[in-house]
């Protein structure tokens, strides 16, 4: 028999998923998720996991609750590790208890991984402490949802008597009734109140007012869900303590397309600056299926005078194969090492190999020009790289020197998303925004992005490119392009801040 984990994903921001939640999710075989789970968290689902979208959203349930319960039971009985991924916390108006009842009756083992509740985190992201010693000493979380056509079954008198902070979840559609109920129960008309929309998301907005005026002021705007209603004296801190909206990338949605194993640092830096970041690798690298030529060259590595690496992936895969063949760095003899850029050099340094040559401009053409200068006539050069590598690299070398070059294909670049039924529709995500920034770290990531967004109008894309070749590829699709000063993560982050201010 398998097991079920009920995991709270937090309000939206991927950084608010707990460490335990992330660890449990990384081992999932089946993930059952709803629409209140942010795309940043969904991007953490393992590529080989089955994803089941139950699409719960107010007034629009793709799957009835009873059927969701049956899905969890069925998958667990099939001896699978099942993660039920829920927005916020599974036990705070998340119907987690209902889902466990059926599992408990059938003896299915389960665990609960609490999540950061939106009732606390969304006010915090808006600079509002839900408690404050000088203002309130209690917090009350109330569901604002009610059945259509029926009056509220809430004791507004009791809520007013608490003199505490009131948080109404899922109540935006009934804002007028909630405020009216509180006023009729004796709450002061000038009691501070707030409507907090899309908390921890790029679209986060707050409307600060009073209980008596909040409904009329909200009627003047288009309220975006999810939204919560906050009532209490602590709302007055919303302007003074506001911090999230002051970050340089606040309100910006940014797509990072680099391979999954390489995206973490860049995505993390962008999130630190307030961006809503979606990691959607547009390419992946797979070891070439025909390893005959590769294994033959590995038997005689000591004959080469130089080895040139053109990507971090190439470094990793090359040394992975060496390890599989029971070889280590001693097998490369006295060969000098060239790298196309600092990212590739860093991967080499992790293996104790210092780079002897690296161009000032990090692309294949410049690496070829540099190697043409440093190589001596008759020397032997090995280039372990992608099957479809940059032809300019070898052309530039041969313009300058008569050397022996072995262009060794060790991996293939696969374009598009790794999973056919991915929980994130990248094309829909981009099209739902007026404008989105997409970070491209190579021309191949541009081609991969195009492969999974065919037919999209690319003129709404602001392409942040790491070099001229990458920029040229993006321009072919009609994107608005910007190029970082250097081919580094730091420079790309600086570029994102500059572009966001335009």
The predicted pLDDT at position 59 comes to 47
Q: How many Cβ atoms from other residues are within 10 Å of residue 205's Cβ?
A: 17
Name the stretches of the chain with pLDDT < 50.
58-60
Q: Are 201 and 262 found together in one domain? A: no
Task: Measure CA of the first residue to CA of the last residue in the chain; give whole Å.
Answer: 55
Q: Are 421 and 405 found together in one domain? A: no
Question: 275: closest CA among 466, 438, 43?
Answer: 438
- Residues 354 and 347: their CA atoms lie apart, in Å, by 10
Where does residue 454 rank: exposed (0-12), middle (13-18), buried (19+ CB within 10 A)?
exposed
- Residues 319 and 309: their CA atoms lie apart, in Å, by 12
56, 80, 206, 252: which is the annotated catalytic residue?
Answer: 56
263, 44 contact by CB (below 8 A) = no
- Residues 5 and 25: their CA atoms lie apart, in Å, by 9
116, 16 contact by CB (below 8 A) = yes
Note down the domain range covering 384: 287-414
Q: Are 105 and 202 found together in one domain? A: no
- Residues 189 and 13: their CA atoms lie apart, in Å, by 34
The predicted pLDDT at position 103 comes to 94
224: Cβ–Cβ under 8 A, 6 or more apart, which residues? Answer: 197, 198, 203, 205
3-state secondary structure of 282: coil
pTM: 0.83
Where does residue 445 rank: exposed (0-12), middle (13-18), buried (19+ CB within 10 A)?
buried
- Residue 360 CA to its chain's centroid (Å): 31
Tokens in use for 417? Answer: 């998303």
CATH number at residue 261: 3.40.50.10090
Decide if 293 is catalytic: no
Q: Are 9 and 110 found together in one domain? A: yes
Q: Are 322 and 410 found together in one domain? A: yes
User: How many domains are contained in the chain?
Assistant: 4
pLDDT, one tens digit per residue, over 334-362 is 899 999 988 899 999 999 999 999 998 88
CATH number at residue 71: 3.40.1010.10
Q: Are 97 and 210 found together in one domain? A: no
Domain boundary among 180, 215, 244: 244
Question: 235: closest CA among 213, 215, 206, 212?
Answer: 206
131, 25 contact by CB (below 8 A) = no
Q: Are 140 and 160 found together in one domain? A: yes
CA distances for 301 relative to 197, 309, 334, 338, angstroms? 60, 14, 10, 15
Where does residue 153 rank: exposed (0-12), middle (13-18), buried (19+ CB within 10 A)?
exposed
104: Cβ–Cβ under 8 A, 6 or more apart, which residues? Answer: 110
The predicted pLDDT at position 58 comes to 47
The predicted pLDDT at position 435 comes to 80
CATH number at residue 126: 3.30.950.10
Q: Are 268 and 382 found together in one domain? A: no
Backbone angles phi, psi at 178, to 5 degrees: -65, -50
Where does residue 240 rank: exposed (0-12), middle (13-18), buried (19+ CB within 10 A)?
exposed
- How many CA atoms lie less than 13 Å away from 145 in the CB half-sphere? 10
Q: Are 34 and 60 found together in one domain? A: yes
Question: 263: closest CA among 277, 245, 247?
Answer: 277
- How many CA atoms lie less than 13 Å away from 369 in the CB half-sphere? 8
Alpha helices in 165-259 (DSSP H): 175-184, 214-218
Decide if 56 is catalytic: yes
Angle at 167 between CA 244 and CA 273, to 5 degrees: 10
Q: Are 403 and 425 found together in one domain? A: no
pLDDT, one tens digit per residue, over 468-500 is 889 999 999 999 999 999 888 899 999 999 999
3, 20, 34, 457: which is the annotated catalytic residue?
Answer: 34
Where does residue 323 rank: exposed (0-12), middle (13-18), buried (19+ CB within 10 A)?
exposed
Q: Are 322 and 354 found together in one domain? A: yes
What are the beta bridge partners of residue 437? 254, 462
Q: Are 231 and 307 found together in one domain? A: no
383, 398 contact by CB (below 8 A) = no
Domain boundary among 86, 116, 146: 116
The predicted pLDDT at position 238 comes to 93
């Amino acid at each position: 028999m398998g097991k079920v984990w009920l995991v709270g994903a937090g309000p939206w921001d991927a950084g608010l998923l707990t460490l335990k939640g992330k660890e449990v999710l990384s081992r999932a075989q089946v993930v059952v998720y709803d629409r209140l789970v942010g795309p940043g968290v969904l991007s953490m689902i393992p590529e080989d996991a089955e994803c089941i979208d139950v699409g719960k959203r107010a007034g629009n349930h793709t799957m009835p609750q009873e059927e969701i319960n049956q899905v969890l039971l069925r998958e667990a009985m099939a001896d699978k590790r099942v993660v039920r991924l829920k927005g916020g916390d599974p036990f705070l108006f998340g119907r987690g208890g209902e889902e466990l009842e059926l599992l408990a009756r059938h003896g299915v083992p389960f665990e609960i991984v609490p999540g950061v509740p939106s009732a606390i985190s969304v006010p915090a992201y808006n600079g509002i402490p839900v408690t404050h010693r000088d203002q309130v000493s209690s917090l009350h979380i109330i569901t604002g949802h009610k059945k259509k056509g029926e009056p509220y079954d809430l004791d507004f008198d009791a809520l007013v008597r608490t003199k505490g902070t009131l948080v109404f979840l899922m109540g935006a559609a009934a804002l007028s009734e909630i405020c009216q109920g509180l006023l009729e129960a004796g709450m002061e008309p000038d009691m501070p109140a707030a409507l907090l929309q899309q908390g921890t998301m790029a679209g986060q907005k707050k409307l600060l007012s009073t209980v008596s005026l909040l409904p009329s002021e909200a009627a003047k705007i288009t309220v975006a869900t999810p939204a919560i209603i906050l009532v209490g004296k602590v709302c007055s801190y919303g302007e003074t303590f506001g911090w999230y909206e002051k970050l340089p990338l606040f309100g910006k949605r940014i797509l990072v397309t680099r391979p999954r194993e390489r995206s973490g640092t860049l995505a993390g830096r962008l999130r630190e600056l307030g961006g809503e970041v979606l990691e959607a690798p547009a390419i992946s690298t797979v070891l070439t299926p025909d390893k005959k030529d590769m294994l033959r060259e590995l038997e005689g590595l000591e004959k080469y005078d130089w080895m040139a690496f053109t990507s971090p992936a190439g470094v990793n895969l090359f040394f992975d194969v060496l390890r599989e063949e029971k070889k280590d760095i001693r097998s490369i003899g006295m060969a000098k090492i060239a790298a196309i850029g600092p990212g590739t050099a860093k991967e080499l340094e992790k293996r104790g190999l210092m780079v002897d040559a690296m161009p000032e401009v990090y692309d294949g053409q410049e690496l070829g020009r540099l190697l043409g200068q440093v190589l001596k006539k008759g020397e032997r050069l090995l280039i372990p790289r992608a099957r479809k590598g940059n032809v300019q690299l070898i052309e530039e070398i041969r313009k300058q020197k008569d050397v022996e070059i072995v262009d060794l294909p060790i991996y293939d670049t696969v374009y598009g998303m790794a999973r056919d039924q991915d929980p994130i529709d990248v094309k829909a995500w981009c099209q739902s925004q007026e404008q989105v920034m997409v970070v491209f770290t190579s021309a191949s990531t541009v081609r991969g992005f195009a492969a999974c967004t065919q037919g999209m109008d690319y003129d709404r894309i602001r392409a942040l490119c790491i070099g001229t070749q990458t920029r040229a590829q993006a321009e072919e699709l009609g994107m608005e392009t910007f190029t970082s000063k250097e081919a580094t993560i730091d420079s790309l982050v600086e570029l994102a801040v500059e572009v966001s201010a335009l």
